[in-house]
Amino acid sequence: MSYLLSIVYICWVAIISIVLFPIAIIIRIVSTPFDKRLVALNFFSHFWGGCYLWSMPFWSMRVSGRNKFVTNKPYVIVSNHLSMIDVLAVSMLFVHFKWVSKIENFKIPFVGWAMYLNKYVAIERGGMKSIKMMMSQSRAHLGNGSSIFIFPEGSRSADGQLKPFKTGAFKLAKEMNVAIMPVVLAGTDQAAPKHSLHFKGRHKLTIDVLDPIEPEEYQDLTIKEISVLVHDRIKQAQLISQQKES
């Protein structure tokens, strides 16, 4: 029975994408003259991601700490990375940001095309030219008041354990003198296991927004030290959460 529901859900995801993409185009055309940061389109995209979660009967969602975001203040948002549905889960924050995502995701029909519409930032793994372009585009977005969301692990964790962080996100934060907003995801790896589209069992997905790390707190640290600081805070928050559930 769960296999059948998984198939139905995947078909439903495709239908949602086909229906909502033309609306995204309309929002982009209508709003661009007075919404240079594409805030309206970004929030519609969050709603789009939310539709996938709200319609999945196996999953429940809890978000805490959303109020720690200050409206119209740009952040470098960083999170642990567990599952292909992390992007959908983080949509439930409903705050304005630009994703930094591997270029392969931009090639996904409808969803990837919407990423282009939103002016999200593409990166090609292993390519220095692509990394430089990603950093340049991210600086421009931060300078225009848009937050940037990056998974500093670079790829999904295979076992749920937090991997070492790459330093790009923290270099951006220091160069642009913006706060770093750590976010902790949990449950997404059980809900959507790696290399599987078989969704079974009930799972609780959680997003915990930690306290922002303001520039004054890290200004005397090196880029590497900043990455370790943020890594430790996310790791500690994961341990506390696990202790509460055990």
Please count the structural domains in the chain: 1
Cα distance between residue 155 and residue 25, in whole Å: 30
Cα distance between residue 233 and residue 102, in whole Å: 25
Mean of per-residue pLDDT scores for the chain: 90
State pTM to two decimals: 0.93
Cα distance between residue 61 and residue 48, in whole Å: 15
pLDDT in tens, 167-221: 999 999 999 999 999 999 998 888 777 666 666 668 889 999 999 999 999 999 9
pLDDT at 1: 46
CATH number for the domain harbouring residue 13: 3.40.1130.10
- HSE-CB for 33 with a 13 A CA cutoff: 3
Q: CB 57: neighbour CB atoms within 10 A?
A: 10
pLDDT at 93: 95
Asked if residues 82 and 155 have their Cβ atoms less than 8 Å apart, the reply is: no
Expressed as residue numbers, the domain containing 91 is: 2-245
Residue 165 pLDDT level (bands cut at 50, 70, 90): very high
Terminal CA-CA length for the chain:
30
Query: Any residues with CB less than 8 A from the CB of 37 and at least 6 apart, and which?
Result: 96, 144, 145, 146
pLDDT at 197: 64
Average pLDDT over residues 134-138: 93
pLDDT in tens, 50-95: 999 888 888 889 999 999 999 999 999 999 998 888 999 999 999 9
